[in-house]
Amino acid sequence: MIKASLLALCLAVLLVACATTTRVAEVSPRVAPAGEVFYHVMPRSFRDGNGDHVGDLKGLTAKLDYLHELGITSILLTPLQPSPYYHNYFATEFKAIDPAYGTMDDYFAFVRAAHAHGLKVYLDQEFQYVAEGHPWWEESKCKPGAPWAEYLLWRDKEHCIAEYFLDKPKWKGYDGRDYGIAMVDLKQPKVQRYFRDLMLFWIDPHGDGSGADGVDGLRIDHMMDDLDHKGIEKHLFADFWGPMFGELKARRPGLRILAEQADWGYGDDWLKRGHADLVFAFPLRGALTKLDKREIVNAIRETEAKTPRGKSQVLFLENHDVDRYMSVVGDDPARARAGAAILLALKGEPLIYYGQELGMRGRELKNIEISDGIQIPAREAFRWQADPESPGSAIWYRGGERWWSERYNRSHDGVSLEEEEGRPDSIYNWYRKLLALRQQRAELRMGDQKILCPTGNVLCILRSDGPHQTLLMVNLGESDARAGLGENALELAPDLIDLLEGKPAAPLNASLKPMQVRLLGTR
């Protein structure tokens, strides 16, 4: 989840981030590989369905039409299991739903409703650790012969001192309480069987391979080959992850595994030895935060070179671990639009973090005691109405602390679905337009990619699928500039149309203003 060499940041951010039904006939929708558009949801902050200001499964289910109409194909949820932490990483029970989100019946109703909307569902899984309160820990402490004693790693023969997460005995939650986090012994055959059966339950709850009510993919949080680089849980790619993924896919061949590579690098080892299908394009995201052409081009090329055939990268500007993109680019709508256009035009599978399409803002709190509260600003409630305290708003974090008093989203600030839907020039409608074009044009979903304009400040990306072409041009400089296509212009089909304006395109050498985006395509 964080580069291991940055231990201080690792200690802070890993804590913050690391959070029976009636059988029906529906089966999981089928989306072509490399054709997915993910929507990353933190359920606690998305939509309150029962009036307690905590986002929940019923609230999320009620808003599936919104996601479908936005152009989303797949929903990626942060964990749902009970945990002492608000983000639900570090579970106290694995095969359960946090009561704040609803019941297991509410969960399965959500999955069925998502599939009925043609949406795939991915669950975030992080079972390398347990928090205080989990039976494996509570019932085994100082009891080496207890039934669960071998499920955890211990520092002493008496099993009184657990092998702690990053060697810290306690971690503070935003509510001021401290909790221990212990490492699970993933090498134990009984532990491996437990998690295999648990994952089979989530992907195939009826046990018949149909996938009815089952999720379509899993995100593996903080995936490592040597857990926390301690040398005591080594070779996990071969001994734990690979065999498990193999069994899951034998049951559900279309299942996809999305790994969060713990080093935040290019993820090639996770795609090869780790047997994942997708990883996160962290280096490219870093380049996109700077909107520097040279860095973006280098990251694109390196990402392509390190992604094996048949595997894919999830492209993103935001997630629950990083600052909101609008804040990163200095609240500059032009820069935010440019970043969004590049994200949705590049080869890969884009991810939109809830509220990103509205231009929601938020940065990690500084000069505050380390707890999982420092990243609440990037996890504020989705803005359905102009007033953040309207019914349905998931403002679970309200109170007297800084994450509330210094919150980014304020009443009638122009950053809400209510305020942006009717404004053609809004960030929301910019995302709607880009997502519609990606949905309409196969070359943007699955076509080849070529970088043009080798000189100058205009980034030029050509996507092609047979005779179908889409050309992205973005001026990443600080002054007006023309695209340096040169001889590359001969590769382009004649009579391109302006896809953003819906009219014949201006000449290819027309000048672009700083951060101006042009998107041209064949008819």
* pLDDT, averaged in runs of 10, over the chain (523 residues): 39 41 36 76 98 98 98 98 98 98 98 97 97 97 96 96 94 95 97 98 95 96 97 97 97 97 98 98 98 98 97 98 98 98 98 98 95 97 97 97 96 98 97 98 96 96 96 98 89 93 94 98 94
φ and ψ of 145, to 5 deg = -95, 5
Question: In the chain, what is the straight-line distance between the N-terminal and C-terminal CA atoms, in Å?
Answer: 43
What domains are there in the chain, each with its CATH number? Answer: 7-127+189-433 (3.20.20.80), 447-521 (2.60.40.1180)
Of 49, 12, 106, 56, nearest in space to 364 by CA? 12
Tokens of 99: 């009561």
The count of other CB atoms within 10 Å of the CB of residue 343 is 24
Sequence-ordered list of residues with C-beta below 8 angstroms from that of 494, at least 6 positions apart, any chain:
none
pLDDT confidence of residue 393: 98
Tokens of 7: 């231990």
Return the biggest CA–CA distance within the chain.
77
pLDDT confidence of residue 260: 98
Alpha carbon of 503 to those of 169, 418, 499, 515: distances in Å? 63, 29, 7, 21
CA distance 2 to 264: 6
b/e sequence 279-312, b meaning 16+ C-beta within 10 Å: bbbbbbbebbbebbbebbbebbebbeebbeeebb
Where do we find the tokens 């996938």?
Answer: 211
pLDDT confidence of residue 36: 96
